[in-house]
Structure 1
Amino acid sequence: MSFTSGWNRRSFLSSVGAAAGSLFAPKAAFGKSKDKSNDKINMKHGVDGSPIVPITSGLGSTGDIYAELGVKPLINTVGTVTVIGGSVMKPEVMELIRRGNEHFVLIDELEIAAGKFIANLCKSPAGYTGLVTGGAAAAMVVGYAGMMTEDLEPRMKMIPDVADFPRNEVIIQKSHRYNFDHQIRQTGAKLIEVVTREEMIAAINPKTVAIHFTNIQSDNGKVSGPETVEIARAHNIYTFNDASADVPPVSRLWEYPAVGFDMVTFSGGKDICGPQASGILIGKEELIRWSLMNMSPQEDRIGRCCKVGKETIFGLLKALEIFVNQDYDATLRMYDARAQLISDAIKKFGVMAKPREFNPNALGNVTPRYSWQIDPAKLKLTGNDVMQALADTKPVGIGSFGANAAGLRGRNPGEPAGGAPQERRPRTPRPGRPAPDPNSFGFAVWQLKEGEDKVIADRLVEIFSQAPKA
């Protein structure tokens, strides 16, 4: 079933108001600084990058950079997935990125200072510090590299040729295998699959360097996080917890290191709303030092490609500070208000709001999900029809229905011509999860910007107005 959209760029801009202003006119995102003393300091020192200037020619001069490149932007009803940009940074974060551009600095010195800031903000255990990385995946690369190379220069130059390293095996539960264990393997480490606690203990040998724990798969494995730490400590090997998508709740920033994991990583570009290419690695000071030695700005390192700029470091620190200090109850009330606005707009079509789904202790991308029930006795369309129509909206799409969250996939020579494209490895299904209702649709509202709930409501009214009646 297809729906035409009567929207054009002018009507969209009119309906979205302030939200569209920030979306299509980024050059107006910040006004002139009111801090005159800061302006005087900047002028005195001749700091480059301080003024905010209008763009009058070339790319950006129209105020609509996406249209200039011929790319359709999206309203995010999907979540903090990388293929659509993760999250949107707050104005304060963008301002710290701008200020981070004002000076040159020794990146290693800045990283060490940032690590202390992170450790203090995140209530890290004594002897732990932090590191800003180029994403959680990059944290895994440099973290595992550090475990194997330590601070030995010959090893740092040889990795990923680790055959002669004394310890180069990483144990992982079979149920914890996932798309991102590629980042462990790219260091040259060999993954050893186990299922039970007994198998985990039996797999430990002199070549074992660490046990990897995939936090989002915690409830699928037979060995818990605390048990993993206990086993590793008893055998003098490291533990690494990939908790990239597992905040909120914010308390996990300090709870997981407190369990005793030697390293824990969180994504900076998900609900923390920092720069998309940022991550946080919290771990023991010696391991963090070795990790930094294996990444940019150092040269001839496996992590040289995991470069983190000074601007990203400052942006991530500000985003993390805002995230830690937020009133999450107030945030939830804001989400509810957005969903209520949509519900009020479409109830006249017999489309009714379903109970909010929210488990604050869930694993991965914790946020309320809102859904609505279509009365098949009134409207002849399915939930999939609605989601596709939202995605097809122009000039700004709403969601990305049908998009592969893993991104572009290559062809499989072993499949016959015209075979199905390779999909990402699915997570193990959880028992008791009900089958999807074809007459319902839903999405998350946590990544909406101000005014976008009204845009969605208006578009849904248009979709249901055009839908065939039952």
Structure 2
Amino acid sequence: MKRRKVIQSLSTLPLISSLSVAKVTGGQISRKKKRDIIAELGIRSFINAAGTLTYMSGCIMHDEVVETIENTSRHFCMIDEVQDKVGEKIAKLVHSEAAMVTCGAFSAMTLGLAGVLTGLDVRKVEQLPHLAGTGMKSEVICQKSHNERYNHAFLNTGCTVVEVETLADVERAISERTALLHFLNITANAGQIKHEEWVAIGKKYNIPTSIDIAADVPPVSNLWKFNDMGFDLVFISGGKAMRGPQSAGILMGRKDIVAAARLNAPPRGYTVARGHKVNKEEILGMYVALEKFVSGDHDREWKDWEAQIARIEGAVKDLPGITTKVTIPELGNITPTLTISWDESIVKLTGRELRDKLRFGSPSIEAGFSGLPLYYYQAGSDSIDPAMEETLKGANLIRVTAWMLQPGEDKIVARRIREELTAGR
């Protein structure tokens, strides 16, 4: 066959699977399987029925995000220009004056506070986290119930955190040292001071207010709700429900503070946040993920999750001794969540034992357990902090979510849980 005909014939061939690549050699088409580095290294991959947990690598990125990352990796761009263009687009989507992509919500917290402390003064930028003798402020105020471990992001700037419980406490705590009033959305109901009151007291004393909504979409409206409410800074993760890069997040808010945060961020190399690099692929991928999330059919997605949870629940609720309950968290990871519990006199398993059977079965499945905040888990493992181990030792339940399941995986999860609960009787 002549070469021209060989080339023409290629246009009529079906698309080759993503697991292989086509190569024409001597007029013949050979298919070479792509390298599977996960299998090669013996890394366990699994069905994620637990949710968007960082230690489980967060989420599976949308195809469009992966394509964006791959396509942009072939080009050189100036990082500041990428942030300029993307930040402008993101700000319009979330109703803020300005925005930037960070390397996660934690990074957004550090950078946002750094921007408040330094403004556009390069000398101050160079001095962080050494605040003594600089004239910079040094305290962040938050409600006691809002002072959880992720607030370490603020300590990175050299600031300390001051706890309060009432509005009167806030007014007593405010001083010339106060840099920021911080609010944690996931524990909003635990504190006495509500969102609007927090914003109002910040405006009264001309002190910036911030809010951590790291895992608080859906609903999609939370992306702009707190900007519209008047918070000066909003921090959010990108690698959860939005299904952007796991190592990306967004800082949004006041234009002057975001500009100062940018001065504290890479590509500048003399800053406290030099290690917070986010590359052009992640910046652009995060923008595409956000754009897709904002324009998505969230009603349909929710119905799909409900159907998947109902399928899993239906597979086990008729078993003797089994109790099922579907709930929706009020704040944080707002998605239908199935709790499966059992009578330990009938099913001879603890929740931990059932999770292990699912984890080490085939295929491997990760299910939720305690409902504890992630910081109770030890770094690099699934082990509970020893301080909580006794509390959870005899817990006979697991929790399952559907929002990170891939098509068809709900049926596998349903079958495997039923098998193990049946075998444990």
Q: 1:375 to 1:232 in 2, by over 3 A?
A: closer
TM-score scaled by length of structure 2: 0.84
- What's 1:103 paired with? 75
Contact 2:45–2:364 under 8 Å retained in 1: yes
Q: 1:343 to 1:170 in 2, by over 3 A?
A: closer
The C-alpha deviation readout for 1:97-143, integer Å capped at 9, x for no partner, is 1122121111111101111111112233xxx1111000000001111
2:357 is the counterpart of 1:367:
no
Mapping 1:393-408, distance limit 5 Å: 393-394=361-362, 396-399=364-367, 405-406=374-375, 407-408=377-378
Contact 1:374–1:382 under 8 Å retained in 2: no
Mapping 1:430-445, distance limit 5 Å: 441-445=398-402
Contact 1:278–1:312 under 8 Å retained in 2: yes
Query: Letter of the aligned partner of 1:100 in structure 2?
Result: T
2:95 is the counterpart of 1:130:
no
Contact 1:114–1:131 under 8 Å retained in 2: yes
In the alignment, the residues of structure 2 paired with residue 386 and residue 303 of structure 1 have an alpha-carbon distance, to the nearest angstrom, of 42
In the alignment, the residues of structure 2 paired with residue 365 and residue 87 of structure 1 have an alpha-carbon distance, to the nearest angstrom, of 13
Kindly indicate which of the two structures has a greater share of residues assigned to strand. 2
In the alignment, the residues of structure 1 paired with residue 257 and residue 127 of structure 2 have an alpha-carbon distance, to the nearest angstrom, of 19
- What's 1:46 paired with? none
- What's 2:223 paired with? 253
In the alignment, the residues of structure 2 paired with residue 244 and residue 29 of structure 1 have an alpha-carbon distance, to the nearest angstrom, of 34
Matched pairs, number: 392
Contact 2:313–2:338 under 8 Å retained in 1: no
Contact 2:339–2:398 under 8 Å retained in 1: yes
Q: Any stretches of 5+ residues in structure 2 without a counterpart? A: 1-16, 23-30
- What's 1:66 paired with? 38
Mapping 1:3-152, distance limit 5 Å: 28=18, 61=35, 63=36, 65-124=37-96, 128-152=97-121
Q: 1:273 to 1:300 in 2, by over 3 A?
A: same
2:358 is the counterpart of 1:390:
yes
Mean Cα deviation higher: 386-395 or 110-119: 386-395
Mean Cα deviation higher: 222-231 or 366-375: 366-375
- What's 1:283 paired with? 253
- What's 2:419 paired with? 462
Contact 2:49–2:402 under 8 Å retained in 1: yes
Mapping 1:124-203, distance limit 5 Å: 124=96, 128-166=97-135, 167-203=137-173
In the alignment, the residues of structure 1 paired with residue 214 and residue 19 of structure 2 have an alpha-carbon distance, to the nearest angstrom, of 29
Contact 1:370–1:444 under 8 Å retained in 2: yes
* Distance apart, 1:336 and its partner CA: 2.0
In the alignment, the residues of structure 2 paired with residue 204 and residue 322 of structure 1 have an alpha-carbon distance, to the nearest angstrom, of 41
The SS at the match of 2:172 is helix
Q: Any stretches of 5+ residues in structure 1 without a counterpart? A: 1-26, 33-53, 411-419, 425-434
Mapping 1:343-354, distance limit 5 Å: 343-346=313-316, 349-350=319-320, 354=324
The C-alpha deviation readout for 1:10-69, integer Å capped at 9, x for no partner, is xxxxxxxxxxxxxxxxx927999xxxxxxxxxxxxxxxxxxxxx986xxx62x3x32322
Contact 1:148–1:165 under 8 Å retained in 2: no
Mapping 1:371-382, distance limit 5 Å: 371-372=339-340, 374=342, 379-381=347-349
In the alignment, the residues of structure 2 paired with residue 346 and residue 193 of structure 1 have an alpha-carbon distance, to the nearest angstrom, of 45
The C-alpha deviation readout for 1:391-425, integer Å capped at 9, x for no partner, is 23245243365899335459xxxxxxxxx95559x
TM-score scaled by length of structure 1: 0.76
* Distance apart, 1:437 and its partner CA: 11
Contact 1:77–1:399 under 8 Å retained in 2: yes
Contact 1:370–1:442 under 8 Å retained in 2: yes
* Distance apart, 1:163 and its partner CA: 1.4
* Distance apart, 1:272 and its partner CA: 1.0
In the alignment, the residues of structure 2 paired with residue 320 and residue 215 of structure 1 have an alpha-carbon distance, to the nearest angstrom, of 20
The C-alpha deviation readout for 1:358-382, integer Å capped at 9, x for no partner, is 25xx111111112345477865545
In the alignment, the residues of structure 2 paired with residue 196 and residue 55 of structure 1 have an alpha-carbon distance, to the nearest angstrom, of 65
In the alignment, the residues of structure 2 paired with residue 423 and residue 353 of structure 1 have an alpha-carbon distance, to the nearest angstrom, of 28
2:265 is the counterpart of 1:295:
yes
In the alignment, the residues of structure 1 paired with residue 32 and residue 69 of structure 2 have an alpha-carbon distance, to the nearest angstrom, of 19
Q: 1:422 to 1:294 in 2, by over 3 A?
A: farther
In the alignment, the residues of structure 2 paired with residue 133 and residue 346 of structure 1 have an alpha-carbon distance, to the nearest angstrom, of 42
Contact 2:369–2:398 under 8 Å retained in 1: no
